[in-house]
Structure 1
Amino acid sequence: MRHRHFAPLLLAPLMALTLPAFAQTTKTGKSMTEPQVRELLTKAGYTEIDDLDFEDGMWETDATSGNRKRVDVRVDPASGQIYAEALVSQLSENDIKAKLSAAGYSNVHDVDFDDGLWKAEAERADGKDVEVHLSATDGSIIHVEND
């Protein structure tokens, strides 16, 4: 019966090793778990974090911002960068087209700024159609998915 006392202590490290397998991962293998995203948003001043889901390569939620307004928020699972819909971009549609062209994409179209991110349809060098999500601040590519 002495072993029962030690079983939770022995299982805890094993469980800690297996839990990350259930997290949403990116191509780099880094990821943030749902509790980590909630903690990050709370520390950033968001409250009433509802419907946190992993979609289109980003954590997405509705939350109340510091000014008490409801906003759509996205979080990059690898970097923890927060993108809120109220964010204003200093980049233009043409800036985004130029960034994508320089990155090797062609036939860039349907460029929109939505929910704090730039989104565009484009063609990769291998001819595949993709949807690309880019940062509002510097135009860096955050996520690419097959269209």
Structure 2
Amino acid sequence: MKKRILPLLVGLSVCGIAFAQNMPSAAPSVASATQTLPTITTWTSTPPSGALSEDAIKTSIANAGYKEVKNLEFKEGVWRTEARGGNKRWVKLAVGPVSGKVYPADAPSKLNQDEVNAKLATVGYVNIKHVKFDNGLWGADARNTRGDHVALLVDPTDGSVVARSHD
């Protein structure tokens, strides 16, 4: 019996050391708790590190079925542009800077306001206010886990946070 426990204890010790080396030194953020860290950006006037290039963003837009991209600019944490769709009409688009996911302004949301509130509360946001669907993304004001006021852009299909900014 003791011979079986010793290898188990050694194995658990090695695993514990391996996990400790991969853990971040700071407390986990709301984003890391939801496994959406790569898609969240903090609003600035320039794309975040790790963001796709303009050419890659244009490729994402083309892969989504749009052509003739014009006025592409990084604004409020996402790429904003207009592009011509398959029906030859111009459509306003928002594009996630890291994921390259395209959000057409005229597409309906799969989530309603209550579902967006619930998704944000689940990942730790509190005092969620001003939840509104506009230009393809949900917008909301809230407080993060540290109590800071933040503005959020939320994916209309899964409720994940696409971008956030300090108010």
TM-score under structure 2 length normalisation: 0.68
Instruction: State the secondary structure of the residue aligned to 2:74.
Output: strand
Instruction: State the secondary structure of the residue aligned to 1:37.
Output: helix
| Count of matched residue pairs | 122
> What is the percentage of aligned positions where both structures have the same residue?
34
* Structure 1 gaps, min length 5: 1-23
Please, which of 113, 121, 145 is the counterpart of residue 93 of structure 1? 113
Q: Distance in 2 between matches of 1:36 and 1:133?
A: 21
Q: Distance in 2 between matches of 1:44 and 1:95?
A: 26
Q: Distance in 2 between matches of 1:125 and 1:105?
A: 6
Q: Relative contact order (alpha carbons < 8 A, sep ≥ 6): 1 or 2 greater? A: 2
* Structure 2 gaps, min length 5: 1-45
Cα deviation for residue 48 of structure 1 reads 2.4
Aligned to 1:73: 93
Contact 2:126/2:142 (<8 A) preserved: yes
TM-score under structure 1 length normalisation: 0.77
For the pair 1:41 / 2:41, whether they are aligned, the reply is: no
Runs of 4+ in 1 over 4 A off after TM superposition: none
Cα deviation for residue 145 of structure 1 reads 0.7
What is the correspondence of 1:1-147 to structure 2 with a 5 Å cutoff? 24-26=46-48, 29-147=49-167
Question: Could you list the per-position Cα deviations for residues 1-53 of structure 1 after superposition, in whole angstroms to 9, with x for gaps in the alignment?
Answer: xxxxxxxxxxxxxxxxxxxxxxx543xx4211112212222233212211100
Q: Distance in 2 between matches of 1:25 and 1:70?
A: 24
